[in-house]
Structure 1
């Protein structure tokens, strides 16, 4: 699909989400005979539940049809990003404080990776607590942050 379609989908998703306490994390369009639109949403203070995903999906479907985005059939899937997806928005970090994370970043032109507890989140940086030390990493140096699930 073209960037024009993706941008229109983002615009529609953000308009639907503007009336909720959720934000858009990502939109993917997977091809095939019937296009599949994958919409990933999250909340700053909490996750999104299945009923809320269904509501968002219904509202988006209505607007997609009103704007005639797809000329034929399509599928729409609205969900939370899931534990295995990297954090891509600053707003995802605060609710993950205290959780174990793997953080890839650049430091003086070198690629680095640390693993530890996401100890704190500030406007411009995060703090990862490792066994021996804490490491402050600026958001603009982050390459990828993935939460490591703990099933206790």
Structure 2
């Protein structure tokens, strides 16, 4: 699907989210006989629940229909990004402090990885604690991908 369509859906989603404490993470369109629109939404201080997802979905679908973005049927899916998805927005980091992460980053032209506890987050970057004696400071500009490693305690 075209970037123009994704950009329009993103714009409409942002207009729905402006009155909430959530932000848009991503919009994907998966093709097929009936297109599927996947909208990922997150909050800085808390996760989004199913009722909130349904409300955002209804409002966004209403706007998409009003703008006639699709000539036929489509499926709308609004959800949190989920643990298996990388953190793509800096606003996702603070609420994940204390969790185990795997970070891919670039340093001096090399691709590197580090795994540890997300210890701190600032405007400039993150601090990952590898063990009690070792921490790594990574500027956001060097971070390629950060994934949460689920812990089932």
TM-score normalised to structure 1 length? 0.99
2-side partners of 1:125 and 1:24: how far apart? 21
In the alignment, what sits opposite 2:149?
A: 148
In the alignment, what sits opposite 2:89?
A: 89
2-side partners of 1:48 and 1:125: how far apart? 25
Deviations along 1:6-37, one digit per CA (max 9) or x if unpaired, are: 11000000000001000000000000010000
Listed as ranges, the gaps of 5+ residues in structure 1 are: none
Q: CA RMSD in A?
A: 0.5
SS at match of 2:27: strand
In the alignment, what sits opposite 2:138?
A: 137
SS at match of 1:52: helix
Following superposition, the deviation at residue 93 of structure 1 comes to 0.1
1-side partners of 2:123 and 2:87: how far apart? 16
2-side partners of 1:75 and 1:13: how far apart? 15
Deviations along 1:93-144, one digit per CA (max 9) or x if unpaired, are: 0000000000000011100000000000011110000114000000010010
Matched ranges for 1:37-56 at <5 A: 37-56=37-56
Following superposition, the deviation at residue 4 of structure 1 comes to 1.0
In the alignment, what sits opposite 1:36?
A: 36
- Give the number of equivalent residue pairs: 152
In the alignment, what sits opposite 1:127?
A: 127
TM-score normalised to structure 2 length? 0.98
Alignment pair present for 1:72 and 2:72:
yes
Deviations along 1:19-75, one digit per CA (max 9) or x if unpaired, are: 100000000000001000000000000000000000000000100000000010001
